[in-house]
């Protein structure tokens, strides 16, 4: 079984320095083991556990409402108005948690002041504890399921506090002094649905049996015609509640605004404008990155086409071009191995390259190398610049330069020059 920590909260408020009781259940302790200590010690044992918090029954109203078969979202909106007359506070100040439907079609609910549940959650959060389930302790009172003998109510007496559970999701908390009056009112409300018996579980020292309170309780049960079954318990009240807890029968208060999702939304609400701006910025950024990627991809494709065209011009005998860069390197290596020193292709490029690069307005169109001759198709700004280029190649690079053709077009000069090893103009 999954590790489970069940923590009952004290009726007089949660304090970090007060001694608490809690129960830990896991594979080694399926029935549960009782621990006592301060809240910080419980937090340490809660690591990896599903945390169940039992809140004081006096602070939670367990009520039912007769509503049609609406979906849960509509029920959540309708329940507050259906229960409004049973509440002492405005519905806006109360939190409503939905339970299941009873056999007669009524919807069970748990109602708690928003101030209360917020204070519980904040105290737990401050101690480092996150509740997975939070419910009224009344719904953890062990009970006998209905059988052929009829329904059973369960009453747990722990000192001067009493927890009365009348159904899977119904009951209330009360003081021992008020037990006869409250029980009579509950029996009157039950009408024809009286229980077959009242199972009375007495925790700790049994000072109840035979007391005036016991005799008054016996009188109420006798007048109602139900059996009173006293069940003294040696176990602590916290352990008894832990064993009576069944999540399938619980009304978890952590719904709506107090669910994990609701609490996260509440935490993020002040940051929502900043998050929206961040999201918008990310959309713009991703869009810009997409456009830039598209532009670079297109540019890459154009460059690859230019490289392929240049390779075909430099090596016209090549038939299939797969990777022009690699094929160019191999072709150059081949030429380098068969060429003649400074007059091979690399020698030409090494001698003429810096001069060509330094010539303003010069654009290379193509290179062709064959038999110790490098033909260069280029575009240059003017015939005078072309003459100066020829002179520099001869004087500075020691190359023989032949202007094969030159023609002016649109203010530019298109020319083909041939470079030969050797020197002279």
Straight-line distance from the first to the last Cα atom of the chain, in angstroms, rounded to the nearest whole number = 97
Nearest-CA neighbor of 192 among 69, 110, 104, 66?
104
Pairing of strands 20-25, 4-8: antiparallel
Is CATH 3.30.420.380 what the domain over 4-258 is classified as, yes or no?
yes
Q: What is the pLDDT of residue 199?
A: 95
CA distances from 26 to 43, 214, 240, 357, 392 (A): 16, 37, 16, 80, 91
Report how far residue 419's alpha carbon sits from residue 399's, in angstroms, rounded to the nearest whole number.
Answer: 6
Q: What is the pLDDT of residue 341?
A: 43
Rg (CA), the chain: 45
Q: How is the chain split into domains, by residue range?
A: 4-258, 271-314, 339-420
Q: What is the pLDDT of residue 424?
A: 44
Identify the DSSP state of 191.
T
Per-residue pLDDT tens digits for 132-178? 999 999 999 999 876 555 689 999 999 899 999 999 999 999 999 99
Name 108's bridge partners: 64
Coil, helix or strand at residue 225: coil
Name 150's bridge partners: 147
Q: What is the pLDDT of residue 1?
A: 77
Nearest-CA neighbor of 3 among 27, 37, 21, 20?
27
Ranges under pLDDT 70 in the chain: 69, 146-150, 261-271, 314, 317-319, 332-344, 422-425
Give Cα 394 to chain centroid, integer Å: 73
Max CA pair span of the chain: 135
Report how far residue 340's alpha carbon sits from residue 352's, in angstroms, rounded to the nearest whole number.
Answer: 17
Which superfamily does CATH assign the domain made up of 339-420 to?
A: General secretion pathway protein M, EpsM (3.30.1360.100)
Question: Whole-prediction pTM value?
Answer: 0.63
Per-residue pLDDT tens digits for 37-76? 999 999 999 999 999 999 999 999 999 988 876 777 888 8
């Amino acid at each position: 079984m999954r590790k489970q920590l069940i923590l009952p909260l004290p009726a007089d408020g949660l304090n970090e320095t007060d001694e608490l009781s809690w129960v830990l259940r896991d594979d080694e302790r399926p029935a549960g083991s009782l621990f006592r200590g301060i809240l910080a010690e419980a937090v340490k044992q809660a690591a990896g556990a599903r945390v169940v918090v039992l809140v004081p029954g006096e602070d939670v109203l367990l009520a039912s409402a007769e509503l049609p078969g609406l979906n849960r979202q509509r029920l959540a909106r309708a329940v507050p108005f259906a229960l409004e007359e049973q509440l002492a506070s405005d519905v806006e100040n109360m939190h409503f948690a939905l339970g299941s439907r009873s056999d007669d079609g009524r919807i069970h609910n748990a109602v708690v002041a928003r101030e209360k549940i917020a204070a519980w959650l904040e105290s737990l959060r401050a101690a480092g504890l996150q509740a997975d389930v939070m419910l009224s302790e009344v719904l953890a009172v062990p009970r006998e399921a209905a059988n052929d003998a009829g329904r059973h109510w369960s009453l747990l007496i722990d000192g001067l506090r009493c927890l009365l559970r009348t159904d899977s999701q119904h009951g209330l908390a009360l003081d021992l002094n008020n037990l006869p009056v409250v029980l009579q009112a509950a029996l009157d409300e039950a009408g024809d649905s009286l229980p077959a018996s009242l199972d009375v579980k007495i925790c700790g020292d049994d000072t109840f049996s035979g007391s005036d309170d016991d005799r008054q309780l016996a009188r109420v049960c006798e007048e109602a015609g139900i059996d009173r079954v006293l069940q003294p318990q040696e176990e602590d009240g916290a352990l008894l509640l832990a064993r009576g807890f069944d999540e399938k029968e619980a009304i978890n208060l952590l719904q709506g605004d107090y669910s994990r999702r609701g609490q996260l939304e509440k935490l993020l609400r002040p940051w929502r404008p900043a998050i929206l701006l961040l999201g918008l910025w990310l959309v713009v950024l991703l869009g810009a990155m997409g456009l830039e990627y598209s532009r670079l991809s297109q540019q890459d494709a154009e460059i690859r086409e230019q490289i392929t065209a240049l390779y075909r011009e430099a090596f016209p005998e090549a038939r299939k071009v797969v990777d022009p860069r690699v094929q160019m390197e191999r072709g150059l290596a081949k030429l380098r191995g068969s060429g003649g020193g400074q007059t091979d292709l690399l020698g030409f490029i090494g001698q003429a390259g810096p001069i060509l690069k330094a010539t303003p307005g010069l654009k290379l169109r193509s290179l062709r190398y064959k038999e110790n001759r490098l033909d260069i198709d280029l575009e240059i700004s003017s015939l005078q610049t072309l003459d100066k280029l020829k002179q520099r190649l001869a004087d500075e690079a020691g190359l023989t330069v032949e202007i094969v053709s030159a023609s002016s077009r649109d203010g530019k000069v298109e020319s083909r020059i041939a470079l030969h090893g050797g020197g002279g103009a």
